[in-house]
Structure 1
């Protein structure tokens, strides 16, 4: 900014000097000190060329007032008088140059070179200092996470001036970008407006949040903002708010442990103390009532479900196995290993039983280890079910054996109901007489006889459990107790009560 009460001086300096060649731009001029102060507030120049003798406010008075609020601005003073007093006062206010009017361009240019170099050095110093301050803050926080530098951490706390904090941990998933670039993007967002301070915490990026700011407590909004700024897939976990900076270590560990278990939670949210797992397992029975998971049992169940062609049953068995593993606190790695073994065993057994599907099984087997790449539990279930569904399509579910197995399974599951061959023929879309013949040829029993025997076997178990005869009759599907008596005696040769007496010891 050029400040001089003589228009010719202002215009001459503005037009004669090639300012851009020296890294400057004239942002404004003023004809006196009062006008210069008003324009300074909006233009904030780095250099002011000021005339000493001006009406209303002298150049020295102008410099004095601006120096009260700005210690970095540079001044060059102009004067038509070579009085020592002016020079002495100018030196007092750290003026970089003192020139006599009329101004000689060759005398001014060396000052411009010197001031430009000073600005460059100051800028570099500020950049280095800011970097060092940032690295020092990061070093203090990183050390505090291990329980060190707590005194320095308290000093940092006072410097920040925040009253409450939260810790946000971000883990970039399948990242194709350098982590340093992601960190910079997060710094641009969080460190603007004093929302937080970003630091490295390998393999994660940590953010010490200013919980005094409302948006830092809106997790839905924060997730969207992070997603918008880093534009890559990520997982995030946040601590509860805390007031004592010394509690940083504890809350960081809690948030870190939670993000390690992100596999058990759905995508699209910042994990917090309020987050619920994707699959909720209720402890409805005691630990003593649960036997150790037997892979062979799960495999047998899945093979049977495959043989009868029931995809819903397959999905239920897979889900039940997963729930059991979660209930038993299996870690992510072990859950994936168990499912790889389960699916591999099922496929190999089916390949042995169905010689014509070797190519299909081999193809699916080559993709089983894709289970390891599933980042979420629900994704794992979907992937496993898709493999088994693909296998199911290759099995001849219209064969006679499969059809009868379906009937036997329906009887096993529904023996206590009023189940009839006529009903099954409608469900399976077959002629009743033809279906009955297929069943007799395969099992050696008529449908009703087979049903009776299943019911009687169930009744024997219930009798030995201490249920009364009429209760047993009701539970296995006999509405008439006398009819149950006659059926039981027909197949077992004794009454229900006598059977219980004979086998109760």
Structure 2
């Protein structure tokens, strides 16, 4: 709903315009008026109108002078010049100043409304063009990965960018590519490796990509077959990675997320890929530390890691101690005070266990925080008995996540919903503020909520806000801009856009035709971006 202000030195004209137009019904909000340009300036600062209607001939500061100042300071405001003087010189000056419309007095309410609607339409078209220009492929992919854009908006934006997002399966891959030679340009290296990835691509698997940081590229894999994606990922982690490292003298760390069937699942796959990349990098660092261990420290110790991982998946906690004693028996020969080999083995086992847990459990806390804590415990091990205690602790921590995967997050989801229910009218509510309230990191809370509810927190917040707005439209006589403020939108125009996107109706149409509004289950609430 666009805000309109009038500046005219004749009070009768101001009152006539103010009273002859049903502003709210016509989709506008009347801010107020002023008798001349000088008095209008501070009111324009305070009211922030979208459209300014001004007379030319006024005392102190005339309409052309006012228009000149507004065009310089607030070029987004559309100006309609209204004058009783049919002189070509005024029209010329108005055009030179870039006013949107020029009309002659007397102007009827019907004529003024026609002009206002034409100006409003021009503003909407400009906004759409601006949105089209600012929504690049990279921003669209980043918003999809960040869970900041709903399905319908993503499809619309992709269409404008001539991108195809349609697929049966989606998987996110994060590649961290770092040159061994500091003189190499990291951005240039990312572009060179992209060309190789495109040349090695599979005809059955397409990918879109964007640069996330100075050394990281994110790939969105799409395919009609899950098996084809898995085959490509095996090739990517194997031969393609080795070819890149050899050809460009660099290190390549790859994180891979789960396969998803819906666009909204891309966000979950992205978070998992980020976790997997972190664990993969630690694994590579751990293997590098093995090369630094003296040959006489290395021992032929065979740990059946697959057996440990199987026990982690399905083992009985009551059998934990006996299992660990038997599993760790080969480690009794290690001198924990003089050799680093045991630290390497436990680090390797820990990282493999976390990788498995990421795949089959829903991790509820930052993995880096957990891993750092466990690695600190490993460095403090000085005996075989301490080693067995550590393995018991490792199993216990990961079993907590196994228990959580069976619905333990219901309490967290309830806390999120309760917080949103109480704070939906606060424009500042965000993923960051919600995560602080429930004391879970934003990325993991976002992942948990998406997995448990099938929608992002942004989508849920929009659903609650629009639901409350519907209720107010049906049960009160509040104006649209008042309802917008009450449900957490300080910009009534933005609120009206979101309302129409999510319901198919403008607020005004919903109020008058609410009885025939589509069923709630058919409404796509995944619309509103959340900014941190």
Normalized against structure 1, the TM-score is what? 0.39
RCO comparison, higher one (Cα < 8 Å, 6+): 2
Bigger CA radius of gyration: 1
Normalized against structure 2, the TM-score is what? 0.37
